Structure 1
């Protein structure tokens, strides 16, 4: 009876086919019911999580915007102190001080007070200094700048530092318009910072024209009345949106209204779409003497990022139940399918057997056709059972005189086998007989082709490269060995001649300071060092072999601020066939930042491209004095580490490098826990000592390439170039442990809250710092004295201390 005729019954009356359908239906109904219950419970949980997520985003956005407002006040206050402490400020001095302050501000302005009887003399003096006509001006009825009418007093713009493409309206009288006049009067009356009502800024691109003036009076030492005003021209669009997520990635819709504006005009409104949600949050921001209402609502990006859909849960649960039902049906009904599969596999095995016999004949033909390579196979005892035509030609033996008579050991020089067997026995810790020395792989370099000396039939010797491997049968059992030999006698002679030339060249280049090179740029923009002396390895800390394969690795060592200039000078030298000479910086893994001087002479290659002959040398000692002077301006006076200005410059430089090349970048932010309590309890002198001891401990744990800076107060930042999130988190844990591992004198154990963030593609400076600041905020909220990362980069939680 054939197998297909057997149809077993379930419970004596239900057929196998019907039982499969019944079981699948029961499983599908049970899974659907469970899916409905889970979807109902998940919906309630999701709504609560969505509210918590919105509040976290609101707090982060409010903190960031309040810091920006405070930063603008601090920058203008520093410019005010500059004028107060200087008896006379020239245009160059103003530009040199104000230019670094231009961050999210359209312009900084100095406007002196000029009385009616001083106007003519003032205009003549400024015209003489500028070598250009200068007049005090105001806007006429057509909106154009025209000479100002007679008034008792003027406040004209004299100095201006701006990034605006439209320039600055020098000479514009700020008392000519009511809004500006009101702001100046409030600043003069209070002696403090004053902010204007929302206005259209003059001399600013239309897209950034809506903004405010932040005004500070300048009073001479010992005086009572201001003799002028310094102002920050602030575009609300630039202040609010610069560095925040792009509209298509922003989770929040932001609106700002000046509470003192009776018309309640929108001073700023983000351009992203509003989500259909009842979530809303309102905060109060202060700038100068004004209070602004900040309203935050979820955007469509926030709504899409929620990722919850009741329909999707029901659909996935139903689909899973259906798939499980189908699987059970297939498992129950697979018996007949298995029998058919056995028949198919049997037919396939018979076909493979026929193909294997044909392949064996083809392999024999291939072995005999390989006349330039010796292919020799042996059994487990080393007796030769395959000796191809290439082996006959190379060694002079006939196959019939070798097969079954000679061993592989008899073809090798006995002294080489003994030496190799001794070294392998020491490396492997067991005795290796000489007869197997050529077949045992080295533990350091498995599958390596090794050089041997063979003995021909006439007694002469032949140098070959040998690659040996084991032979396995169809069951995976070890049945013998296979050895492949390649004659390298002539190749070895050529290598020896080249080695003599290379040794001579290395001796000559060893006495030359720096590195000597031959460098080519081919038509396909392929950069390659044809020759690089050992000095090149010392200059760039890159092996000369790597340089000869890919010269562009040198560009990765060059400082990001210099690499484009070096590229351009190389292209110009190739275009004009002119002498190349450049000084630039390199960032080395071991020696850090070094200054390099390079010179080379180009020549055009016949097939296209350019060849340079030249040298490079280290001139870091010549640059050290200049760097030491520069360090005075970028160092924190109390702790001796870098200050906020240097951190911002380095972070921008690293961002430029990442956008042009690739790599990783991480930042670690830390804030001392309860530092105000230390100052209040022990005094500021002890607090300063705590800051110095913390910097000492942290600095000892950092690499040469890391940048450790004090942002202000008890807040510090570590910039970690070429460091991914895992490495940065490990470093932060080490810094955290080094700080709390030993108490400090007088105050005991001092702890800090750490936040870690790593750069993401298309992310700006503010985005990276916002995530680091958010991680510190999370650490503070979680009890302080810990290391935290943002949600998508969070590493496994480290040790946690109890609440402070």
Structure 2
């Protein structure tokens, strides 16, 4: 809140309100002239300001247009450099490879405006016949020939070009045969940079009126650009070039916001006497106040850009705000004058005006009070006698003395003597001409704690003083905490005696050199901090090699300190092995991690380098590599022996599978005859009275035959699966209908033991499989669950999403989405050590060998079917009694063909 020691309205102002008003006509004239003068002055100022704003906006737009053109030319040059890199990396480039490279660049979308991207090989006169034959036969360019004909020392024909459609007839044209084009080729060759020609007319498109430009990039046979001009001439292999029309180039920039600009481009590379017009209306028209000149240099050419507004110069820019101000101000002034003239004779009008002015003054005073109330600082105003006459205290309870008791009193009556003396000295210095004084002091607060304060004192009014007081207790505590944190950080750095920790500023000057760095490198911190850069610790040839590598990678020259921190600037950190040089000249290998240090605004303020001596580690790695090589030799010898044994075992297993398949097929024929006669005997014995015993014998024969036939069928299926002769027709299948179908077939078995089958309707059940073969797997699992479940038990079938590893083939990586189907029973279960063995042929769990029967082939067939679908099957234990058999199959979108399985 704020208080003042003065009345709110001076008595002189009240007396002024009682004076006789001016005559009405004179009052009306004053009311008309004064606002009109203010309106005209404001209109002139606003119009001038709008003109300046329009000029500034036009200048920004002109700069944007110039920057866009230069950036697009740089994009073209970057494409040419990419083409040079492609040709340098491709020993024998072909026309098709060049087309594929150009299509991947997506020139029309990423760098619009380019007509073609082509290649000009350097062809000596002696090599011209062979080159022509190669272009006709190998590249398939029918009727290819170098044009124009005639003997020359060297030729630079158009060999590759993409796209071909715009300038198809340019194939074989010797670009160096024309002086303007030859000049730009020679400039690019000698300077080793991208060069651009002056305006040219395209031979393949002579009807187009707009001038075109040729941009070329030299291609050298060496790695990098030779440093000497003669070497560049010898190493030249050819050029990568592009052509573009100036009008299409400007249109491709899509200069939104530039529709109101007239752009004129000229090339003054040859001086003022040889200026060449490139784009826009030539000649000079009437001067326009909104016009800009821009120039830039690219590819050996100097471009001049003249930009001007399309508004007619004689009209000038429209300034609606100033015109509105002029019209509204004039209308208001005239209205006020009319009202003053009509009501000037009335005393009540003057009184009403006085009341309105008083009200506005009160509102202004209220707004000022509100502004002060929003300020968080204490504010005191002192008069020329240095007594308090006004204050603003947002938090009066913080002070040990109520601030309203300050008003009209001298500081010596309230404050401690030492603080009064300090305040008097500051006021004396302000009286002597010093503009601002800052004093710091401590005072007790209302809660008994000692608060730290900062007061800023300055002169105000005639001989008065304004004192702004801020509580800086929290700031001081923060500063103290920061000092303690810095001390702890320095202690941590110095404690790391086996690790070199060096920090630098953004220019590379060392700011921290810990004890570990002193111990590792032999330098003292006093000799390094503020005196040297990390370059003294590195081998010059290693730094130069890294600089060349980074320059090639990023496309700009990197040298000096930036070699160590460029990647850290871009990515935040970089780990790399370097060779450090100790003070005594000896070398050691270190693993150096360079990290960028940021401030709260995420600006880089320095760099931190942490290095660990890995010399001993590198020696150990070399020894390990030697042992590894020796071990590989031993493994290779052993692998050869194992390969022979593996091939023999596979041959034996294949022979066995073929034998079982043949024998199973031979056994099925007589078994069908036995089952047929057993069925015939059952039907005949059933019609003979007293033949119950004979009927029982035939029933036993048929049951035994059916079991034997099932065993033979299982053997036949297993042998086919193992021999890879089982055919599969996989497709997306929902497993729930297959389970319901199998359960329906086994309903009598379920009812016989009063079993309850629970099919989980939640979870995904869509997989990629052969429904016929996988139905056989489901029937085997349900049959086992029924066989081993106790009477009245529950069989549960559930589904859950999961993943399958894709590492069964060398080309597989990562995981694939899959579905896991589980079949749980409440039987005797399978011991943990037998959960893998039960999937072997003719194997049964020790807990299931009695009472349930079985051939021991069901789970082996299930495993082969699961593997054939690139899935898995495992046995697990339940939380209670029984067994859980889990089958995992890939989903349709994640499944390769079954024929591709490992």
* TM-score greater than 0.5 by the shorter chain: no
TM-score with structure 2 length normalisation? 0.33
TM-score with structure 1 length normalisation? 0.36
